[in-house]
């Protein structure tokens, strides 16, 4: 039973004439902890109980006042303010963290259900740039949150590895390409070919037909075209994987757009049979005007298939293959219309699971020196950003301590962690400006700040020594009277709320809920650290305080881990 349930039960047992569920709905956590740990507003009860709210509150306060769950119960106007017995509460939560350890925060809420998380999904032969960080990092955190809640998860990278642009790319390669260059620097080189194609086609329009014919051959599976396409894909994936490795990210499937090339005819046929397909200037569309949307282009006049058709095929395949409970797409808000059209078509096709597919949009990232733009060649590669973060972090560490150990390893954990953390700090739908100063600030609400709090906790534990830490782990034998100060109690309460923050972050598809919560824990830990003497002479006091440090450390580490950020023990 959690504390809210315990509180509701206490009120229920006072026999005030309400059902337990009704009481649960009314119990709240006051914004100001001076009003207690829980409050029970009685306004709504006046009608049912035929009494003035303050009278009801007074009555309840008197009836539950003696319950050992509470240290104090007050009636203030229409409210019952309840203060938990701090020592029991702190003991309870420390025991829980101690026994669950690395698993603290995890649960089996989602047992037996499969959640697909589709994220990152870059286009092959195109730069993996700073803009890709959002889907990649937010998606990875959402996957980790669902995994922590006991769901079976499938991580899919829906690579953009199909479409007429590959006809152009192969065409360009044949005219101006060279194998060595591609091998040396695949993405840059392929991008150059692609750009050259667009320049040349202005004066040689016949290239357009050539490229179209090549793509048609590719779709038919002609050996040479497929070989080149496969090679471009492999080389691109090698570059992407370098970045994924730096970020500590892996996928269960790279079934991208090309994977659905043979699964589209069935979709087209079904749309046709269900009378959803219409001809328009030689192309096939689904008319979405009745739903206030522009038509969805399913098949071009030259017979080639389109992005949305592949997404329809993908949703179907995933349902059949994984029987998902939820199928999540972490894709920029620029594609809102695409996903609205797509879900409407799934609905029209009669898929009763259409709304188990969820588009999770996010805003734009831009750089301080202007928006990022692929079209004008101002591409900022994600790999370069990550490398720079690591280098700058190394400088900061060496500035602070010229003899720091394992600098490279720590700089990697902190530098990359900082970039990831920043990405997950704000509500994801907001546009934001990537700022180096903010990312690497050790004092602000940043990754390094939280990592530093964790490393500080580790350092306290090292100084306390193994024996004390061992004794502190036996929470039953500790005297909790040392942990009821405002700073200690606040920290304990935030640790208690950690599992709920995970649930909330997952349900809202909003990792920042968790990020904000672990920033709170780091801040409360630092306050506790500065305000109180932890490694005191008194053994009993020291053990109790070390136990709280241990719980904070475990929670920070688990929290960072769920965001995809490492927690070094020394910084």
Q: Determine the Cα–Cα distance for residues 335 and 160; give it in Å rounded to an integer.
A: 14
Stretch that binds ligand ARG, among 88-96, 120-128, 387-395, 494-502 (CB under 6 A): 120-128
Residue 338 annotated in active site: no
Rounded to a whole number of angstroms, the minimum distance from the CB of residue 319 to ligand ARG is 14
Stretch that binds ligand ARG, among 119-127, 320-328, 425-433, 439-447 (CB under 6 A): 119-127
CA dist 240 and 447 (Å) reads: 24
Question: Considering 51, 58, 113, 126, which one is annotated as catalytic?
Answer: 126
Q: Which residue number, 341 or 451, has a Cβ lying nearer to ligand ARG?
A: 341
3-state DSSP: the chain helix, strand, coil percent, rounded to 5? Answer: 60, 10, 30
Least separation, in Å, of the C-beta of 506 and ligand ARG? 20
Q: For residues 455 and 563, give the distance between their C-alpha atoms in angstroms, rounded to a whole number.
A: 17
Give the span between the Cα atoms of 488 and 547, in whole angstroms. 11
Residue 303, phi-psi category: left (phi > 0), alpha (psi -120 to 50), beta (remainder): left
552 vs 525: CA distance, rounded Å: 7
Length of the chain: 571
**Minimum distance of ligand ARG from residue 316's CB (angstroms):** 13
Segment lying near ligand ARG (by CB under 6 A), choices 13-21, 118-126, 388-396, 400-408: 118-126
Q: How far is the CB of 100 from ligand ARG (least distance, A)?
A: 36
Residues 273-312: x/- map of binding to ligand ARG (CB under 6 A)? --------------------------------------x-
Rounded to an integer, what distance in angstroms lies between the CA atom of residue 401 and that of residue 570? 12
User: Smallest distance, Å, CB 46 to ligand ARG?
Assistant: 53
Residue 175 catalytic?
Answer: no
Closest separation in Å from C-beta 399 to ligand ARG: 39
Angle at 355 between CA 349 and CA 357, to 5 degrees: 95
Nearer to ligand ARG, 7 or 331 (CB): 331
Instruction: Tell me which residue has its CB nearest to ligand ARG.
Output: 160
- Per CB under 6 A, the list member of 160, 448, 499, 564 interacting with ligand ARG is 160
Closer CB to ligand ARG, residue 193 or residue 342? 342
Tokens in use for 62?
A: 């008197």
Please identify, using beta-carbon distances, which residue of 127 and 564 lies nearer to ligand ARG.
127
Q: Is 163 in the site for ligand ARG (CB under 6 A)?
A: no
In terms of CB distance, is 134 or 394 closer to ligand ARG? Answer: 134
Q: Which contiguous run of DSSP H or E holds residue 4?
A: helix 3-13
Q: Which is nearer to ligand ARG, 110 or 160 (CB)?
A: 160
| Nearest residue (CB) to ligand ARG, 142 versus 480 | 142
Q: Going by C-beta distance under 8 Å and a sequence separation of 6 or more, which residues neighbour residue 528? A: 487, 488, 491, 548, 552
126 is catalytic: yes
The DSSP element (H or E) to which 299 belongs, if any, is: strand 296-299
Question: Residues 36, 122, 417, 447: which binds ligand ARG (CB under 6 A)?
Answer: 122
Q: How far is the CB of 510 from ligand ARG (least distance, A)?
A: 19
Exposure on the CB side of residue 470, measured as CA atoms within 13 A = 3
Kindly state the smallest distance separating residue 24's Cβ from ligand ARG, in Å: 39
Of 95, 107, 114, 123, the residue at the interface with ligand ARG (CB under 6 A) is 123
- The alpha helices in 358-485, defined as continuous H runs, are 382-400, 407-423, 436-439, 447-464, 466-473
Binding part of the chain for ligand ARG, among 23-31, 115-123, 196-204, 388-396 by CB under 6 A, reads 115-123
DSSP state of 296: E
Cα→Cα distances 34→5, 30, 455, 480, 490, Å: 21, 8, 31, 21, 12
Instruction: Kindly give, in sequence order, each residue whose CB lies less than 8 Å from that of residue 171, ignoring residues fewer than 6 positions away.
Output: 197, 207, 210, 211, 214
Distances (CA, A) of 249 to 78, 89, 133, 246, 420: 52, 38, 12, 8, 12
- The reply on whether position 125 binds ligand ARG by CB under 6 A is no
Q: Is 121 in the site for ligand ARG (CB under 6 A)?
A: yes
Near ligand ARG in 328-367, by CB under 6 A: 329, 331
Catalytic annotation, pick one of 86, 91, 132, 412: 132
Question: CB under 6 A: which stretch of 117-125, 284-292, 406-414, 436-444 binds ligand ARG?
Answer: 117-125
Of the candidates 129, 158, 319, 428, the residue annotated as catalytic is: 129
Residues carrying an active site annotation: 126, 129, 132
What residue ranges bind ligand ARG (CB under 6 A)?
118, 121-123, 158, 160, 311, 329, 331
């Amino acid at each position: 039973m959690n504390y809210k349930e315990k509180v509701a039960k206490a009120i229920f047992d006072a026999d005030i004439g309400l059902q337990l569920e009704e009481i649960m709905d009314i119990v709240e956590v006051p914004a100001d902890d001076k009003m207690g740990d829980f409050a029970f507003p009685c306004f709504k009860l006046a009608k049912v109980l035929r009494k003035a709210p303050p009278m009801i509150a007074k009555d309840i306060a008197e009836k539950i006042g003696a319950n050992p769950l509470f240290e104090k119960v007050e009636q203030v106007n229409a409210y019952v303010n309840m203060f938990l017995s701090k020592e029991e509460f702190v003991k309870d939560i420390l025991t829980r963290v101690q026994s669950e350890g690395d698993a603290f925060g995890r649960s089996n809420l989602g047992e037996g259900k499969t959640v697909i998380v589709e994220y990152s999904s870059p286009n092959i032969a195109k730069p993996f740039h700073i803009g890709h960080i959002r889907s990649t990092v937010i998606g990875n955190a959402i996957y980790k949150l669902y995994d922590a809640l006991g769901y079976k998860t499938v991580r899919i990278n829906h690579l953009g590895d199909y479409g007429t642009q590959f006809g152009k790319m192969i065409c360009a390669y044949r005219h101006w390409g060279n194998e060595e260059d591609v091998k040396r620097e695949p993405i840059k080189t392929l991008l150059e070919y692609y750009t050259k194609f667009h320049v040349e086609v202005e004066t040689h329009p016949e290239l357009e037909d050539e490229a179209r014919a090549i793509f048609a051959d590719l779709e038919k599976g002609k050996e040479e075209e497929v070989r080149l396409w496969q090679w471009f894909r492999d080389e691109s994936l090698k570059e992407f994987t370098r970045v994924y490795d730096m970020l500590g990210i892996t996928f269960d499937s790279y079934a991208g757009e090309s994977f659905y090339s043979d699964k589209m005819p069935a979709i087209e046929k079904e749309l046709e049979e269900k009378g959803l397909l219409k001809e328009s200037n030689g192309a096939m569309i689904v008319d979405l005007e009745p739903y206030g949307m522009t038509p969805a282009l399913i098949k071009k006049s030259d017979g080639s298939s389109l992005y949305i058709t592949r997404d329809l095929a993908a949703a179907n395949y995933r349902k059949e293959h994984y029987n998902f409970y939820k199928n999540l797409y972490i894709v920029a808000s620029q594609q809102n219309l695409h996903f609205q059209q797509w879900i409407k078509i799934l609905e029209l096709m009669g898929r009763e699971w259409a709304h188990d597919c969820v588009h999770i949009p996010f805003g734009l990232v831009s750089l301080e020196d202007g928006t990022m733009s692929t079209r004008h060649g101002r591409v900022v590669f994600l790999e370069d950003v990550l490398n720079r973060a690591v280098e700058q972090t190394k400088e900061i560490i060496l500035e602070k301590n010229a003899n720091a150990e394992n600098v490279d390893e720590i700089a990697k954990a902190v530098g990359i962690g900082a970039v990831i953390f920043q990405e997950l700090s704000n509500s994801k739908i907001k546009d934001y400006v990537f700022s180096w100063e903010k990312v690497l600030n050790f004092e602000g609400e940043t990754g390094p700040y939280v990592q530093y709090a964790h490393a500080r906790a580790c350092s306290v534990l090292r100084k306390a020594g193994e024996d004390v830490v061992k004794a502190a782990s036996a929470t039953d034998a500790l005297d909790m009277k040392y942990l009821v100060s405002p700073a200690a109690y606040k920290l304990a309460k935030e640790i208690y709320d950690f599992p709920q923050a995970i649930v909330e972050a997952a349900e809202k598809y909003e990792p920042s809920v968790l990020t904000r919560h672990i920033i709170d824990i780091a801040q409360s830990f630092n306050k506790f650290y500065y305000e109180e003497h932890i490694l005191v002479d008194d053994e009993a006091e020291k053990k109790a305080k070390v136990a709280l440090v241990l719980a904070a450390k475990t929670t920070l580490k688990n929290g960072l881990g769920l965001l995809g950020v490492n927690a070094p023990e020394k910084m």
